[in-house]
Amino acid sequence: MQQNKKKKISPYAASFLAMGVVVVLYMLIFGLTHLSDYLIAAGVMILVGRIAYIMAQGLDVSKTAPVQQVIPKTGDAAVDSLVEKGQEMLSKIRQENDLIPDAELTGQMDQLEDVANRIFHTVAEQPGKAPQIRRFMDYYLPTTLKMLAGYRKMEERQVAGESAQATRAQIRDAMSVVLKAFDKQLSALYQDDMLDLSTDIDVMEAMLKQDGLVDSGIKDQDRA
């Protein structure tokens, strides 16, 4: 898993700095006397700014390389295919995540990946639970990838304006909701197991009392 990313320099800051340097150098070397000079300077400035933005993302050495979790095979072709498909989507989510400079959002995605992998581990250990994650696989995970890719594209293209900012905020809020939903999905996979354990505890408690081995129930002792 990735650790939260802390960037030494924002891609946006690198882009604006590079564009500023280009303008200054162009003015010193060529001057700005004609309309064509302004147009050429603007073109070079945008090109260099774009290059600086991409380099600031790719050369960020503070990122920790993600570790692909290995999910054991079940021997059930349908379940193994389901898990592989899920891990492929997680890999794409991770790739999108690596290109987003928003530390808060990428931190949420790291948590989401951890929960999703635990879901896949659970299904691999208990293939009978695979039908419970169909909607998770067919809708929630791909939609998460789609939202993250949309956010990344807006960041890369430096889309500005109130509408763009509102969409970014909406995606961040949605990811918080998705993360909680993934946690609930994981808990739901263990719901039957928890009920079985609770039943086992009740049966053991009744037998212990019947045999005169305890005066109070297990649950009563836990509250004491």
Same domain, 19 and 53: yes
- Cα gap 105→108, rounded to integer Å: 5
Same domain, 53 and 107: no
Q: 132: domain CATH number?
A: 1.20.5
Same domain, 203 and 148: no
Domain of 154 in residue numbering reads as: 77-189
Question: Domain tally for the chain?
Answer: 3
Residues 177-188: tens digit of each pLDDT: 999 999 999 999
pLDDT, position 15: 65
Cβ contacts of 148 within 8 Å, gap of 6 or more: 93, 96, 97, 100, 109, 171, 175
Same domain, 183 and 195: no
In this structure, is residue 65 part of a structural domain? Answer: no
HEC-encoded secondary structure of 53-88: HHHHHHCCCCCCCCCCCCCCCCCCHHHHHHHHHHHH
Residues 88-141: tens digit of each pLDDT: 999 999 999 989 888 888 889 999 999 999 999 999 999 999 999 999 999 999
pTM reported for the whole predicted model: 0.62
Same domain, 49 and 25: yes
Of 222, 218, 221, residue with least CA distance to 205: 218
